[in-house]
Chains A and B, each alone.
Chain A
Amino acid sequence: MNDLHWMTVEEATQAIAARKLSPVELMKALLERIGRLDPKLNTFIRLDGDAAMDAAMAAEAEIASGHQRGALHGVPVGIKDIIDVGGLPTTCHSKLLVDNVASADAVCVSRLRGAGAIVLGKLSTHEFAIGGPSFDLPWPPARNPWNTDHHPGGSSSGSGSGLAAGLFPMALGSDTGGSVRNPASACGIVGLKPTYGLVSRRGVFPLSFTLDHVGPMTRTVADNALMLEIIAGHDPLDPGSVAASAGHYETKLERGVRGLRIGYIRHFHEEDMPADAEVTAALEHVASTLQKLGAGIRDVRLPILGEFAAVNRVILQSEAWAIHGQWLRERPEDYGQLARRRLMSGAFLSAGDYVQAGRRRLEMISAVEAALREVDILLCASAMDPPSRIDDPAAVERTYPRQARTPFNVTGHPALAMMSGLSSSGLPLSVQFVGHNFAEATLFQVAREWERAAGTDNSHPRLV
């Protein structure tokens, strides 16, 4: 079998179940590729190759004896290193937690393992999932496989980089201000921030309690739906978890978009934060393609992007200060500069600032709900620029806030980012779809139709 590294989760599970592919064969191919490419990409903080190979051999034996553990049996997964994997350190890419060995799997990891997935290792992030690509941490930042001089987005950087490079077919990320969707956008893969409360956060190092989400990252929309099917579900020990019915995310994948009503939030990228011309052209192409395929497109207005970002920032930094205050007082030198600057901001916010941001948050939720009463789904920009160079701090600083992802951390609505095309310099451009709460199936339906029309699932970087 050729190109095992580009196999989707769906293809791998089918081939493994039909005994046309051995989990050991798949694992060997991926470990060989990781060994060759990871030194250029810095995707992994810790590769757990021996344990992964042992698990692949165990899976092979189980499948040979007729025991199918679950929908992901024998398929490797990468885990962002703020998410606990029992027996491995959860470093959060920080000097502060170098020896922080997790005693148990996070709930999302446990669910994946329960379905038969094999943990490959822990993946690069921004320090504590905030800041940006930093060169003053114990591990280097991940790089973009489309051009290793460029930033892969973050904070789930290793997840995006490794998927785009064909190092694994699925990964877990987390998203507090866009950290699943940013690397999905920069690396040309599919990243979902589910509805707040749909996926348990237990066992995930917090950044901001009321904004944190765990999300699936994959190379295809169908794989994303499959992964969500496994990790979604109520967790009574996560205070934010919602006891909503979860599941059936693949049911509408191939239904097309005929008759669906799509609200296009143009003002985000045309007025509030004028986007790069290629980004705008690609968004117009997505909208017109979906219209030709039978969707109705209408313009929608929400509060301005800059205010969404401000509300996100005040809430995030207030909550993060509650988590990091003690360390920032005692060990400020152990943080990288970017995280230190972001996390100390909470010291300069008052209780009143935090509550006022929460009051405005409710108005913003109402605004998005009102818009969604008129349409089935929203379409908008994700990143306003192609990925910047990673070695240009000024470019990273300029482009990082130029995005439209934070609104949906503030409101909790599900949002999916994926490739909209390639820039003239060969870097991924992106689009974002936003849905009704707990209507991820409709998000996947629209995203799948765009993927099918544009062939984004077959677009990979050329790596040696």
Chain B
Amino acid sequence: MDKNTVELLARRAGLDKALAQFSDDVAAAAKQASDAVAKIKVPVDPRAEPWPPMRVGTGL
């Protein structure tokens, strides 16, 4: 993720204050996120469902 994209996403998330005071931390957070996403093998079957599934609630 390039610097401009990081800044754009940070501002969209409302992290202007963090960006001003802790820009290194914002950059590190963005890198952690993109590194994790890159390691996941997305299921190829379009019917693959996420876990946990929707369940009807009882007693809540």
Q: How far is the CB of A320 from chain B (nearest CB, A)?
A: 11
* Chain B residues whose CB sits within 8 angstroms of the CB of A311 once the complex forms: 40
Q: How far is the CA of A457 from the CA of B37 in the complex (A)?
A: 41
Taking CB atoms, residues of chain B closer than 8 Å to A330 are 17
- Asked whether A332 and B17 contact (CB < 8 A) given A311-B40, A358-B51, the answer is yes
Q: What number of A residues sit within 8 Å (CB to CB) of B?
A: 40
**Known contacts being A239-B60, A313-B36, A341-B28, is A347 close to B15, with CB within 8 Å?**
yes
Highest count of chain B CB atoms <10 Å: which of A309, A313, A325, A341: A341
B40 near A307 (CB under 8 angstroms)? yes
For B10, B39, B49, B51, the residue with the greatest tally of chain A CB atoms inside 10 Å of its CB is B51
Bound together, the chains give a CA A349 to CA B34 distance in angstroms of 8
Most chain A beta carbons < 10 A, residue from B6, B10, B29: B29
Interface centre among B1, B14, B32 (most CB of A within 10 A): B32
Whether A317 pairs with B51 at a CB distance below 8 angstroms is no
Cα separation A355 to B37 with both chains bound (whole Å): 11
User: In whole angstroms, how far apart are the Cα atoms of A355 and B51 in the complex?
Assistant: 9
Check B60–A317 contact: CB distance below 8 A.
no
Known: A332-B21, A337-B25. A365 touches B51 (CB 8 A): yes
A177 to chain B, nearest CB (A): 12
Please determine whether A362 and B48 come into contact, CB atoms closer than 8 angstroms. Answer: yes
Closest to B39 in A: A310
Is A345 in contact with B33, judged by CB distance below 8 angstroms?
A: yes
Q: How far is the CB of A201 from chain B (nearest CB, A)?
A: 14
Asked whether, in the complex, the Cβ of A347 is within 8 Å of the Cβ of B29, the reply is yes
Asked whether A332 and B32 contact (CB < 8 A) given A310-B40, A340-B25, A348-B9, the answer is no
Closest to A347 in B: B13
A349 touching B37, Cβ below 8 Å: yes
A210 touches B36 (CB 8 A): no
> Does any Cβ of B come within 8 Å of A254's Cβ?
no
Whole-angstrom distance between the Cβ of A304 and the nearest chain B Cβ? 9
Chain A 422-448 against B: per-residue CB contact (8 Å), 1 yes, 0 no?
000000000000000000000000000
Mask for B42-60, Cβ within 8 A of A = 1, else 0?
A: 1100001111100001111
Q: In the complex, which residues of chain B have a beta carbon less than 8 angstroms from the beta carbon of A40?
A: none
In the assembled complex, A359 has its CB within 8 A of some CB on chain B: yes
Instruction: Please determine whether B36 and A310 come into contact, CB atoms closer than 8 angstroms.
Output: yes
A361 within 8 A of B: yes
In the bound complex, how far is the Cα of B14 from the Cα of A83, in angstroms?
Answer: 29
Q: Write out the residue numbers on chain B whose beta carbons fall within 8 Å of the beta carbon of A310.
A: 35-40
A344 touches B40 (CB 8 A): no
A18 at the interface (CB under 8 A from B): no
Q: How far is the CA of A407 from the CA of B29 in the complex (A)?
A: 22
Residues of chain A with a CB closer than 8 A to B39's CB: 306-307, 309-310
Report the bound CA distance from A355 to B57 in whole Å.
Answer: 21
Q: List chain A residues, Cβ under 8 A from B50.
A: 355-359, 361-362
Q: How far is the CA of A317 from the CA of B40 in the complex (A)?
A: 15
A361-B60 contact given A314-B36, A347-B15, CB 8 Å threshold: no
For B20, give the chain A residue with the smallest CB separation: A332
| A210 cross-chain contacts in B, Cβ below 8 A | 52
Within residues 326 to 360 of chain A, which ones have a CB less than 8 A from any CB in chain B?
328-330, 332-333, 337, 340-349, 353, 355-360
Q: In the complex the two chains form, is B42's CB within 8 Å of A344's CB?
A: no
Q: Are A317 and B25 in contact (CB-based, < 8 A)?
A: no
Q: List 12 A-B contacts (CB under 8 A).
A: A210-B52, A236-B59, A237-B59, A309-B36, A314-B36, A325-B14, A332-B21, A341-B29, A344-B25, A348-B29, A348-B30, A355-B50
* 10 extra interface residue pairs, beta carbon distance < 8 Å, beyond A325-B14, A358-B51: A236-B58, A309-B36, A333-B22, A340-B25, A343-B29, A348-B34, A355-B50, A356-B40, A358-B52, A365-B51
Across the A-B interface, the 6 shortest Cβ-Cβ residue pairs: A358-B50, A310-B39, A344-B29, A347-B13, A348-B33, A236-B59
**A positions within 8 Å CB-CB of B:** 210, 236-237, 239, 306-307, 309-311, 313-314, 317, 325, 328-330, 332-333, 337, 340-349, 353, 355-363, 365
